[in-house]
Structure 1
Amino acid sequence: MSGLHFLLVPLVAQGHIIPMVDLARLLAARGARVTVVTTPVNAARNSAVVGSARRAGLDVELAEIAFPGPELGLPEGAENLDMVDEEHDLAFFQAVWKMDAPLEEYVRSLPRRPDCLVADACNPWTAALCARHGIPRLVLHCPSAYFLLATHNLSTHGVYGRVADELETFEVPDFPVRAVGNKATFRGFFQWPHKESFQRDVAEAEATADGLLINTFRDIEGVFVDRYAAALGRKTWAIGPTCASGLDDADAKAGRGNRADVDADLVVSWLDARPPSSVLYISFGSIAHLAAKELIQLAGGLEASRRPFVWAIKEARSDADVQAWLAEGFENRVKDRGLLIRGWAPLVTILSHAAVGGFLTHCGWNATLEAIVHGVPALTWPNFSDQFSSERLLVDVLNIGVRSGVKVPAMSLPEEAEGVQVTSAEVEKAVAELMDEGPARTARRARAREIAAKAKAAMEEGGSSYADLTDMIHHVAELSRKN
């Protein structure tokens, strides 16, 4: 495999860059040369992991291209989706689509054409560039195969067009398992007003790709992967969970995706003082934000639960209402058993610690896979898009999750709800269901450990994902030879 040069182009969003950098390490471990092309801000965020890979002898590098955000009115340096508010969301994706020009300039500067470009599914604008230069192109999907197949079937069967409103209930047609929901909880990434052209571009680029990659593994999603591959008629490989490839370097582990806003050693020391499987970790990822009133309800439930917890509470940095509420003394009241991290937390460091026995998660696919890989049962609190599908997979299919009680995205709530779906009493009850000792928890934890073992085995030599990645590399080598 040596001599192959892969160019990886992730969407500039945390949930997409992280698995793409993981994939870079996996390809380099097979002897390929790999370049991850992103913007300066995102290159800086991922320098720790790439630096660790290079110190380990892997041929991985970051290449920086300009982000055209300022041309569309975005602030200078706002180069990641988590740096943009809802008002500028459309302009952000318009800027993403304009990244074709700086990428073209970069490709033309290379001494020879790359053997393959792996593009995030949300970067369909790479298709024309690859066609101009004769570069084989693969598409990487970052959500679950469950979600991909569900939204595909709903579109092809015309369900989205038949429902009267956002909350009308339907069952996903021609699906391997029974899945009931509504448009609000089965919405694709670009199924929003004014983003229809983005959705068309994504579909067209996927249909002409030389193959599809999905960050999942066959033990949990084999039937969904195979059905999706058949529906699209494209060669498809399940090459995950990429997070199971492991990070031996403690600094790289703590800085995966971004530099942590807390000293990881302090977090580890705090966890070391707690009994095994006793701590609940709470994180809502990089984009999802709880309304202040919902966050206060969550805090009330955590306080009433009397259980130790670590909470990545990024709202404490940006929401004045949350800051005012914190000043009233919550942190002091729970100081003996609660650790608050104001910003980005070292997720892998925390989830891999023996003291952690539960994960309250927004069900982003990266976080879902991290929970699976580390054998930690989940308390599910989805916010939008594919996160409700991740919840269904964790709770209904894999039986390693407990629902918090969230029914719809916050934006679908009536105004009088003020953003609150789950009361403090309901939080307390859900935490008890996840963390209380008893037959149900014992069975859930055993199942989580069993799936974690399968996830790691899938990535090792002889495993299904290892074999799929090998086959993909052979496929690229053959395409490169022909070209």
Structure 2
Amino acid sequence: MRSTFPPYASSDAVWGITKEAPTAMAPPIRSSISKLPDEGNPSRRTASTPLFAPALAAAMVSDRRQLHIFFFPFMAAGHTLPVVDMAKLFARRGVRATILTTPADALSVAASLNRASEAGHPVETLLVEIPPAEAGVPEKLADTKSAGAQMDFLMSTARLRDPFERLLREHRPDAVVSDMFFPWSGEVAEELGVPRLIFHGTSFFSLSLSDALFHHPPPESSAGEEGGLYAVPGLPHRIEVDRSQIPDFRQQKPEFAEVFVKMKQAEKICFGVVVNSFYELEPEYADHYRNAMGMKAWHVGPVSLCNDDDGDRSARGAGAGAGVVDPDNCLSWLASKEPSSVVYVCFGSVCRFTAAQLREIALGLEASGHPFIWVVRDPAGKGDPSSEQWLPEGFEERTAGTGMVIRGWAPQILLLNHEAVGGFVTHCGWNSCLEGVTAGLPMVAWPMFADQFYNERLLVQVLGVGVSMGGEKRYTLREDERPLVGAEEVARAVKVLMGGGGEEMRRRARELREAARAAMREGGSSYGDMGRLIEELLGRQTTPVHAGD
């Protein structure tokens, strides 16, 4: 039997999604969005009403002992940044929020937390360090240089168990929100009588598909057969995935596969799950996850909307990587472009490409004829991202007036929300997907691993706000194993995204943007779910029995 595990189960671009019943699929999201009240068609850049009412929210807990929650993210930008945003949102609701993080990862969130403190909603920080057991293991995922090193880093985080237990005993919080990659944190929390909430960092859609594949993996392929569609059972829609896109963990180290088994086991003892999503985005899968799967879950997103001015957006993630760009230079460049004319291209903090693939991306962007901002990491982790060896000869000179290449980190949500940006080429990491949605942008989906293939289907086929990158796409953590996507495919996708044919996607994207903001305002679905979680945790406030005391 083929072994599949939730965080890395993925799908092919040729998925088929239809209703189990022989009736045509009428996406529930479209009908619910279309009924949103008209708010005067506000600009994408300015909410029509305040997203949060922190003073009123804080009063919810004023008559009881202040609720204290630990937030313990995995040391990768795609996990740390949304958890920090979540902690800031809880702090605005009167909760005492404490982030547990390593010294290296703390640098990437310091500016954001400083601004929260200055605004009167401080988030505390407690530092933990991975005990040095193996030489060469970095302190955060972004510093790894290969797929093997990423797996070694994941395994190394188990050594945080003892420091985590000491902090839990010392500070005795009312609850802990910890990353899915820390299944041992659930064992410690249960032993000490502290409710543990899991943060997966993905959508209800992805969680539902991943769980279905975990319990109903496809049978092993015949000799010489790699692909073939597999209809995943037990979901709201008929969903077919290509077998070649589902990772086979029999090829991984046994101890690595064991981590994912432990993650599933940890779900059985957790208090519940917090999801960075909003109900209106994926209602059928939110209901499926809670009802059919029997999981307690609260949707509290999009959490990035807590960064509600340009200062917050610039500070978010500053210091997360080398080569930090000056946000003002980016804004000045964008100010010279026509509204919705620029395509923003970024593939997250972990995805890397070979030099050959980067050259194809460069040629494709140039051939598209559209202005672009392209955020680039060094090719395949080989060294200095400022090296130009991977760029086509004369590329930057030819695109000097129409293109900006950013090497390293960029203030993504600041740039996505600029009026000159009209589209987003993304690896389909869930944070990027949500940030594109909240900016009201259509997207080109180019998934590579993890939950990214699931997110592609959600964007393209269910929500109707994306177009798939052409060419063969295969699940792999190794950039040298990915089929080369040619410049012509890159240019084609960008032209579809930014051209006249993308008007329906842009309309849908604008609708989802308003739905996301409505969810986060007082009275919205995510605002309400966070309040219900706070009330439930407050209701548990008794003198806890801590094992071993």
Q: Report if TM-score (shorter chain) is over 0.5.
A: yes
From 110, 114, 120, the equivalent of 1:57 is 120
Letter in 1 for 2:460: V
Give the Cα–Cα distance (whole angstroms) in 2 for the partners of residues 189 and 461 of structure 1.
44
**Structure 2 residue matching 1:171: 3-state secondary structure:** strand
**Structure 2 residue matching 1:324: 3-state secondary structure:** coil
Say if 2:140 is the partner of 1:80.
yes
1:234 to partner: Cα distance: 2.8
Give the Cα–Cα distance (whole angstroms) in 2 for the partners of residues 414 and 160 of structure 1.
25
Judged with a 3 Å threshold, the aligned counterparts in structure 2 of structure 1 residues 34 and 98 are, in CA distance, closer, same or farther, namely: same
From 320, 339, 344, the equivalent of 2:409 is 344
- The range that moved more, 213-222 or 266-275, is 213-222
Instruction: Show the 5 A alignment for 1:266-305.
Output: 266-305=329-368
1:333 to partner: Cα distance: 1.4
- The match for 2:191 is 132
**Structure 2 residue matching 1:143: 3-state secondary structure:** coil
Are the equivalent residues in 2 in contact too, given 1:151–1:186 (CA < 8 A)? Answer: no
- The match for 2:78 is 15
Give the Cα–Cα distance (whole angstroms) in 2 for the partners of residues 377 and 128 of structure 1.
41
Give the Cα–Cα distance (whole angstroms) in 2 for the partners of residues 471 and 177 of structure 1.
29
Structure 1 residue ranges (4+ consecutive) displaced by more than 4 angstroms after TM superposition: 161-166, 186-193, 412-415
Are the equivalent residues in 1 in contact too, given 2:196–2:272 (CA < 8 A)? Answer: yes
Instruction: Show the 5 A alignment for 1:56-135.
Output: 56-68=119-131, 70-75=132-137, 78-84=138-144, 85-110=146-171, 113-135=172-194
1:412 to partner: Cα distance: 8.8
Task: Give CA deviations for 1:38-72 in whole Å, capped at 9, x if unaligned.
Answer: 1001111100111111111113112111123x312
Task: Give CA deviations for 1:46-102 in whole Å, capped at 9, x if unaligned.
Answer: 00111111111113112111123x312334xx2111111323233212211111111
Letter in 2 for 1:144: S
1:408 to partner: Cα distance: 2.8
Give the Cα–Cα distance (whole angstroms) in 1 for the partners of residues 272 and 186 of structure 2.
12
Task: Give CA deviations for 1:292-348 in whole Å, capped at 9, x if unaligned.
Answer: 211111111111112100000112694469731337321111111000001011101
Say if 2:242 is the partner of 1:182.
yes
Give the Cα–Cα distance (whole angstroms) in 1 for the partners of residues 455 and 251 of structure 2.
18
- The match for 1:389 is 454
From 82, 100, 103, the equivalent of 1:40 is 103
Letter in 1 for 2:201: C
Judged with a 3 Å threshold, the aligned counterparts in structure 2 of structure 1 residues 191 and 390 are, in CA distance, closer, same or farther, namely: farther
Judged with a 3 Å threshold, the aligned counterparts in structure 2 of structure 1 residues 219 and 240 are, in CA distance, closer, same or farther, namely: same
Give the Cα–Cα distance (whole angstroms) in 2 for the partners of residues 358 and 388 of structure 1.
19
- The range that moved more, 181-190 or 87-96, is 181-190
Are the equivalent residues in 1 in contact too, given 2:357–2:485 (CA < 8 A)? Answer: yes
Judged with a 3 Å threshold, the aligned counterparts in structure 2 of structure 1 residues 229 and 46 are, in CA distance, closer, same or farther, namely: same
Are the equivalent residues in 2 in contact too, given 1:371–1:377 (CA < 8 A)? Answer: yes
Letter in 2 for 1:185: Q
Give the Cα–Cα distance (whole angstroms) in 1 for the partners of residues 242 and 514 of structure 2.
34
**Structure 2 residue matching 1:160: 3-state secondary structure:** coil
Instruction: Show the 5 A alignment for 1:314-393.
Output: 314-315=377-378, 318-319=381-382, 323-326=388-391, 328-393=393-458
Judged with a 3 Å threshold, the aligned counterparts in structure 2 of structure 1 residues 332 and 39 are, in CA distance, closer, same or farther, namely: same
Say if 2:149 is the partner of 1:149.
no
1:182 to partner: Cα distance: 2.4
More helix per residue: 1 or 2? 1
Unaligned stretches of 5+ in structure 1?
none
**Structure 1 residue matching 2:139: 3-state secondary structure:** coil
Say if 2:305 is the partner of 1:244.
yes
Letter in 2 for 1:313: V
Task: Give CA deviations for 1:358-389 in whole Å, capped at 9, x if unaligned.
Answer: 10000000000000000011011111121011
**Structure 2 residue matching 1:180: 3-state secondary structure:** strand
1:267 to partner: Cα distance: 0.2
Say if 2:265 is the partner of 1:207.
no
Letter in 2 for 1:338: G
Give the Cα–Cα distance (whole angstroms) in 1 for the partners of residues 430 and 252 of structure 2.
20
Give the Cα–Cα distance (whole angstroms) in 2 for the partners of residues 481 and 234 of structure 1.
24
**Structure 2 residue matching 1:301: 3-state secondary structure:** helix
1:189 to partner: Cα distance: 10
Task: Give CA deviations for 1:132-166 in whole Å, capped at 9, x if unaligned.
Answer: 22111111221111111111112222x33444565
Give the Cα–Cα distance (whole angstroms) in 2 for the partners of residues 87 and 308 of structure 1.
36
**Structure 2 residue matching 1:421: 3-state secondary structure:** coil
Give the Cα–Cα distance (whole angstroms) in 1 for the partners of residues 192 and 181 of structure 2.
20
Say if 2:277 is the partner of 1:216.
yes
Give the Cα–Cα distance (whole angstroms) in 1 for the partners of residues 151 and 186 of structure 2.
21
Are the equivalent residues in 1 in contact too, given 2:276–2:303 (CA < 8 A)? Answer: yes
Letter in 2 for 1:289: R
- The range that moved more, 225-234 or 179-188, is 179-188
Are the equivalent residues in 1 in contact too, given 2:341–2:498 (CA < 8 A)? Answer: yes
1:413 to partner: Cα distance: 9.8
1:410 to partner: Cα distance: 6.1
Greater RCO between the two (CA within 8 Å, min separation 6)?
A: 2
Task: Give CA deviations for 1:405-459 in whole Å, capped at 9, x if unaligned.
Answer: 15433649998xx7443211111111111111x2x32221111000010011101
Give the Cα–Cα distance (whole angstroms) in 2 for the partners of residues 15 and 317 of structure 1.
19
**Structure 2 residue matching 1:466: 3-state secondary structure:** helix
- The match for 2:503 is 442
Say if 2:465 is the partner of 1:403.
no
Are the equivalent residues in 2 in contact too, given 1:272–1:355 (CA < 8 A)? Answer: yes
Give the Cα–Cα distance (whole angstroms) in 2 for the partners of residues 413 and 346 of structure 1.
26
Are the equivalent residues in 2 in contact too, given 1:214–1:237 (CA < 8 A)? Answer: yes
Unaligned stretches of 5+ in structure 2?
1-60, 545-549
- The match for 1:461 is 522
Task: With the length of structure 1 as denominator, give the TM-score of the two structures.
Answer: 0.92
Judged with a 3 Å threshold, the aligned counterparts in structure 2 of structure 1 residues 198 and 413 are, in CA distance, closer, same or farther, namely: closer
1:462 to partner: Cα distance: 0.7
